[in-house]
Amino acid sequence: MRHRSRAFGALALATAAPLLAAAEAEDGVTVEITVTELRNTKGVVMACMTDNPDIFPRCREDPDSFRTTVPAAETLTLRFTGVPAGTYAIALLHDENENGRSDRALTLIPREGYGFSNDAPVRMGPPDFEDAEFTVGDTEVHQQIRMRYWL
Residues 11-52: tens digit of each pLDDT: 444 444 444 444 444 689 999 999 999 999 999 999 999 999
Output the pLDDT for position 103.
63
Find the angle CA(130)-CA(25)-CA(131) to the nearest 5 degrees: 10
From the number of C-beta atoms within 10 Å of its C-beta (0-12, 13-18, 19+), residue 92 rates as: buried
8 located within any domain: no
Residues 6+ apart with CB under 8 A from 100: 46
User: How many separate domains does the chain show?
Assistant: 1
Output the pLDDT for position 26.
61
Output the pLDDT for position 21.
45
Q: Is the pLDDT of residue 75 over 70?
A: yes
11 located within any domain: no
Mean pLDDT of the residues in the chain: 84
Q: Grade residue 112 by pLDDT with cuts at 50, 70 and 90.
A: confident
127 located within any domain: yes
The model's pTM is 0.79
Between 147 and 2, where is the model more confident? Answer: 147
43 located within any domain: yes
103 located within any domain: yes
109 located within any domain: yes
Closest residue by Cα to residue 116 from 146, 137, 87: 146
Task: Report the CATH number at residue 97.
Answer: 2.60.40
Q: Grade residue 107 by pLDDT with cuts at 50, 70 and 90.
A: low
22 located within any domain: no
> pLDDT of 121-150, one tens digit each?
888 788 999 999 999 999 999 999 999 997
Q: Grade residue 105 by pLDDT with cuts at 50, 70 and 90.
A: low
Compute CA distances 93 → 29, 112, 132, whole Å.
Answer: 24, 7, 15
Q: Is the pLDDT of residue 83 over 90?
A: yes
Domain region containing 82: 28-146
69 located within any domain: yes
80 strand-pairing partners: 31
